[in-house]
Structure 1
Amino acid sequence: MRSDPNLLRRASDRDKPLVARLIQLYLYDLAAVVDFPIGADGLYDYEFLEAFWHTPFGADGLYDYEFLEAFWHTPYLLQRDGELRGFALVKRGCPLTDEEDCWFMAEFFVMRPYRRTGFGSRAVKEIFEAHPGRWHVPVLMENAPALNFWQKALEPFSAVSEPVAYDGADWRLFRMTG
């Protein structure tokens, strides 16, 4: 049973534009740490968002068998007392290791005013409780603030970590059971 049901809300279809805007804030923060170019339109490109919104029927009205795979993509809004504080994107299977039998924290973002308050660690706990089992959490090695956060947030879960090279970048991959 989740300890704070008001902290985590699965994002609905209506929330997709909101999550897309939050991703812009997230990528802006990330661009301060790693080389992440902004597009000519003034927006950062995030090609994976569509995978987190899905329907069991394709454009032709027929059942879409890819839906079963997409079902394991879960977008969340992080909030407190109805006030938006961030988002998380969770998926089944780890692209860094090709392991399928685990949950993967694809993205996790808490807005700056709510950092260093314990909110992010509580949100992580809620997400793990919503998806029990094995977890993989990747963090870019260059992202020292994120590494610091995840080391502290995952301490109660006895996470082990290892360096992993993936897609031309160096990562710290945390593994644990949540």
Structure 2
Amino acid sequence: MKIEVRLTTKEEAYIIKNMYPLYLHDLSGHYGNTPNRHGIYEDSQDYATLQDQYDVQNIWWEKPNCLYPYLILVDDTPAGFVFIATPPHCSLGVNYFVNEFFLLQPFRGNGIAQYVATEIFEKFRGKWELFTNPAAKNVIGQKFWRKTVSNYTKGDYEEVLGPTFDGDKLIFRFCNA
């Protein structure tokens, strides 16, 4: 199995944008979100089509050296994506933030996600932060990040439940400088 984690260009953005609605649907199982009146998983009722949703994501390809949209490929097949943000798009004192991390269902449960996370962490050195939903519905995600970050840092990380720009979350912080 060949796993590739590749920074995408504007020309490839559509691949991630095609998977993004699946990601939001996946998250709805953890958060209990329902689609808006147009059937789109977004908070805004203004998004009537997937194109509207796609346009909001363009920022990821408009800020090189600040926002990093990575595509995950398994045997040359799109399998997911990772969005990494840097200041000013992360908490004060944080260099790198895992904004989004998604792997399609057929690729889960076989070590791909942990491999990808490690590859991403190795690309950037500094203070990292990521968070996930602390609810019981997301115990799999919590276990994944706890195991992945613990293995990567050899147990040298901080895990706290606390406030974020997106409500209370389970927050993971570590430094690999």
* Structure-2 residue corresponding to 1:17: 14
Residue 77 (structure 2) aligned to one of 74, 83, 102: 83
Q: Within 1, Cα distance between the matches of 2:67 and 2:114? A: 21
Range with bigger deviation, 127-136 or 38-47 = 38-47
- Are 2:168 and 1:170 aligned? yes
- Can you list the C-alpha shifts for 1:55-80, whole angstroms capped at 9, x where unaligned? xxxxxxxxxxxx5xx63100000112
Q: Within 1, Cα distance between the matches of 2:59 and 2:89? A: 14
Paired amino acid for 1:149: F
1:130 CA drift (Å)? 1.2
* Structure-2 residue corresponding to 1:71: 65
- Are 2:103 and 1:110 aligned? yes
Residue 40 (structure 2) aligned to one of 29, 40, 43: 43
- Report the CA distance shift for 1:37/1:94 in structure 2 as closer, same or farther (over 3 A): farther
Question: Sequence identity of aligned pairs in percent?
Answer: 22
CA RMSD of aligned residues (A): 2.2
Gaps of 5+ in 1: 55-66
1:100 CA drift (Å)? 4.4
- Report the CA distance shift for 1:90/1:48 in structure 2 as closer, same or farther (over 3 A): farther
Q: Within 2, Cα distance between the matches of 1:117 and 1:36? A: 28
TM-score computed with the length of structure 2 as normaliser: 0.80
**Greater helix content:** 2
* Structure-2 residue corresponding to 1:60: none
Gaps of 5+ in 2: 43-52
Range with bigger deviation, 168-177 or 119-128 = 168-177
Count of residues paired in the alignment: 159
Range with bigger deviation, 117-126 or 167-176 = 167-176
1:53 CA drift (Å)? 1.4
Q: Find runs of 4+ consecutive structure 1 residues off by over 6 angstroms.
A: none
- Can you list the C-alpha shifts for 1:99-139, whole angstroms capped at 9, x where unaligned? 14410000000111111100000000110111122110111
- Are 2:142 and 1:147 aligned? yes
